[in-house]
């Protein structure tokens, strides 16, 4: 049981990544204080679709994290995930022309070599997986490892499952980092006072760059806005997460301009979720009718049955974007005691368990489950000179 204002670790951020860091760190035997200026899942997590994807990732560190997380989510399924609408429904990527299929084949070949299950589906086999798909598609690839959770529930239940070793301080903004004589972390300062710990984990998502600057280091996290349409409840007209082949290119793009690609998936509760859009417009939450129009048209082109369905609501969120499309995970060599777990862009929910496990291993001296060099938080530049 935690008492007072001291713990072994402070995690800043109560989204799904911060919750996973707290869960695995508590499982390793450490005490954790989780601090967030809002509620649990009040930021990017609460605006997510809950995707657990391997289908959109090329071979490399991010795919290694995704494959590890797929396994960890399955392990969690017997515990917390049974309460968070975990659904191993698989993904289906479709191409409208043979040129698109050729690109998908090349992409899938590299993924298979890295351990991904990718099954080619000919044009005449698409209807068996998705009876309501538009006719005339060239084919696609089925990814049975893709899954989904309800993201806000996932964050809440991870924190609950962490038990008495975790203490929550919600509605409390971190305003500064406490450091010792040699610059090492000693805790954080909030409007309600000081909280002490020898380690601080930056799991502040899209606002991770702000927290890094409080520590005197640069982490160029930028918000990448996206909208989701939510339809009226329907019978299960969409069985998988289904998206067009150009979605993969949009995810990998560094463009700040508006990009949209058709992404459609059903949910256990009935509504269909429609995305995806990406644009860098700062933290502007203004409703964009142009984005909504494009999303609706894209969904109806992929699933004509949706053309007459009512959209009940829409919401926007900000993906935490880093320029090389990889998160920053692990110790920051510029500030002893500071670790980062942010910058996952749209993959944070899917990569949360692996991220939490990596952080826990780093805190307890264990062997990280993946190589950390590509995820090094200091890869974007040295710390600015300290004032004297």
Residues of the chain with pLDDT under 50: 387-388
Q: Is residue 31 part of a domain?
A: yes
pLDDT at 79: 76
Q: What is the CATH number of the domain that holds 272?
A: 3.30.9.10
Predicted pLDDT at 387? 46
Does residue 62 belong to any structural domain of this protein? Answer: no
Q: What is the pLDDT of residue 318?
A: 96
Picking from 321, 351, 368, the residue at the C-terminal end of a domain is 321
Domain boundary (298, 321, 344) is at 321
163/240 same-domain check: no
Assess whether 246 and 303 both reside in one domain.
Answer: yes
In a domain, 71, yes or no: no
Q: CA–CA distance from 295 to each of 45, 185, 202, 208 (Å)? A: 21, 45, 33, 29
Domain end, chosen from 321, 341, 368, is at 321
Both 14 and 127 in one domain: the answer is no
348-364 and 16-27 helices cross at what angle (nearest 10)?
30
Q: Based on the domain organization, do 290 and 371 belong to the same domain?
A: no
Which residue range(s) make up the domain with 205? 9-49+152-221+324-380
Residue 21 lies in a domain: yes
Please give the tally of structural domains in the chain: 2
Does residue 137 share a domain with residue 255?
A: yes
pLDDT at 91: 97
Same domain as 288, residue 180: no
Q: Are residues 171 and 204 in the same domain?
A: yes
Within a domain: 158:
yes
Q: Does residue 66 fall inside a structural domain?
A: no
347 inside domain: yes
* Residue 333 and residue 299 in one domain: no
The CATH number assigned to the domain holding 331 equals 3.50.50.60
Q: Are residues 337 and 373 in the same domain?
A: yes
Same domain, 127 and 249: yes
Same domain for 227 and 269, yes or no, is yes
Please report whether residue 332 resides in a domain. Answer: yes
- 200 and 342 in a single domain? The answer is yes
């Amino acid at each position: 049981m935690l008492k007072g204002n001291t713990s072994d670790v402070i995690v800043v951020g109560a989204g799904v990544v911060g919750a996973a860091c707290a869960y695995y760190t508590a499982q390793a035997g450490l005490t954790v204080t989780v601090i967030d200026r809002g509620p649990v899942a009040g930021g990017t997590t609460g605006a997510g679709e809950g995707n657990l994807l391997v289908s959109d990732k090329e071979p490399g560190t991010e795919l290694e994290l995704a494959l590890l997380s797929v396994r960890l989510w399955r392990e969690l399924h017997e515990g917390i995930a049974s309460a968070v609408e975990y659904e191993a429904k698989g993904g289906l990527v479709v191409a409208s022309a043979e040129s698109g299929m050729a690109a998908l084949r090349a992409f899938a070949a590299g993924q298979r070599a890295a351990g991904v299950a990718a099954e080619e589906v000919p044009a005449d086999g698409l209807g068996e997986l998705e009876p309501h798909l538009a006719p005339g598609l060239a084919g696609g690839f089925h990814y049975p490892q893709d899954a989904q959770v309800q993201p806000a529930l996932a964050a809440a239940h991870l924190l609950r499952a962490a038990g008495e070793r975790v203490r929550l301080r919600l509605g409390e903004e971190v305003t500064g980092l406490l450091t010792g004589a040699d610059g090492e972390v000693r805790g954080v300062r909030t409007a309600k006072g000081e909280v002490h710990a020898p380690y601080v984990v930056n799991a502040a998502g899209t606002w991770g760059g702000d927290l890094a600057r409080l520590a005197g280091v640069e982490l160029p996290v930028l918000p990448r806005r996206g909208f989701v349409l939510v339809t009226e409840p329907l019978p299960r007209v969409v069985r998988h997460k289904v998206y067009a082949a150009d979605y993969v290119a949009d995810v990998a793009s560094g463009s700040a301009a508006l990009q949209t690609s058709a992404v459609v998936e059903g949910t256990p509760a009935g509504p269909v979720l429609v995305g995806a859009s990406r644009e860098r417009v700062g933290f502007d939450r203004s409703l964009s009718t142009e984005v909504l129009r494009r999303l609706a048209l894209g969904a109806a082109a992929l699933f004509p049955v949706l053309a007459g369905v009512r959209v009940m609501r829409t919401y926007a969120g900000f993906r935490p974007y880093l320029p090389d499309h990889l998160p920053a995970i692990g110790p920051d060599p510029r500030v002893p005691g500071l670790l980062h777990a942010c910058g996952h862009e749209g993959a944070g929910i899917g990569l949360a368990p692996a991220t939490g496990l990596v952080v826990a291993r780093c805190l307890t001296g264990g062997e990280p489950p993946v190589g950390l060099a590509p995820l090094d938080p200091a890869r974007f530049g040295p710390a600015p000179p300290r004032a004297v």
